[in-house]
Amino acid sequence: MKTSRSYRIYLCFFLWGLLFHHNLFGKSGKPDPLNPFDKDYVTLELAGNFPIARSQELFSPYKKTWFLGYDHYLNRHWNVGISLGFKSYYRDALNKELALLSVSNHSLYVIRLYHPTYLMLGTKFIYMTPNEKSRFPLVKEPDFETEIGVGVAARLAHIQGPFVYSLRIDRWRGTKTNKLHGFEVAVGISYRLKK
């Protein structure tokens, strides 16, 4: 019952993020000549997670993991996207990994620092399923339940031709318990899908 409720909550937040920002900030008609970004990018990131707050009592940092994502720029001010990857921790007491398969969506406000470098700030909603290893096939971790997480995100992006190089820092936490808190640092590269 709790799991199906979590699915519905996450789906509502995901749709809100895409539909609300598109309807409020999206523009139709001619392209904006001041927008330096193309519409759509595929993103690959290498990320590390560090436990903070209550999580430091249970976990240690473990291996770096990959995230695959999709970014859509509504206009020069708003970026929305979705990503899939693992958040990996080491369970000190049991000497084994806790891998959170994470599907997250973000809404980021884009701030021009000095072209071609931009700062993006915003929020994330994360759906996490706990597993024993950060690889497929998935093996569920019985000690933890499926979790909905929220976070704040900051991304520094540098445009170079069809590529966008980025450094991302997130502060996230689960909402069901006080056990899952994290600080995530990732470096990434995005490639535009069309001109």
Beta strands in the chain (DSSP E): 40-51, 59-61, 65-73, 78-91, 96-114, 117-131, 147-160, 163-174, 181-192
- Average pLDDT rounded to a whole number, residues 156-185: 94
d(CA 159, CA 163) in angstroms, rounded, equals 6
Q: What is the sign, positive or negative, of the torsion defined by CA atoms of 166, 151, 71, 61?
A: positive
Of 190 and 10, the one with more pLDDT = 190
Over residues 145-154, the pLDDT tens digits come to 899 999 999 9
Confidence of residue 18 (pLDDT cuts 50, 70, 90): low
Residue 17 has pLDDT above 80, yes or no: no
Report the C-alpha dihedral over residues 121, 127, 132, 136, rounded to 10 degrees.
-90
pLDDT value at residue 132 = 92
**In residues, how long is the chain?**
195
DSSP alpha helices (H): ranges in the chain? 2-25
Residue 92 has pLDDT above 50, yes or no: yes
Over residues 46-66, the pLDDT tens digits come to 999 999 988 888 898 889 999
pLDDT value at residue 194 = 78
Collapsed DSSP state (helix, strand, coil) of residue 12: helix
Weakest-pLDDT range from 20-24, 37-41, 91-95: 20-24
- Average pLDDT rounded to a whole number, residues 159-166: 95
Q: In this structure, are residues 188 and 46 in contact, taking their beta carbons and an 8 Å threshold?
A: yes
Q: What percent of the chain clears pLDDT 90, i.e. is strictly above it?
A: 59
pLDDT value at residue 27 = 47
Predicted model pTM: 0.81
Residue 19 has pLDDT above 60, yes or no: no
Report the C-alpha dihedral over residues 8, 10, 16, 22, rounded to 10 degrees.
-120
d(CA 141, CA 18) in angstroms, rounded, equals 31
pLDDT value at residue 24 = 45
In eight-state DSSP terms, residue 177 is -
d(CA 37, CA 50) in angstroms, rounded, equals 31
pLDDT value at residue 109 = 97
pLDDT value at residue 36 = 86
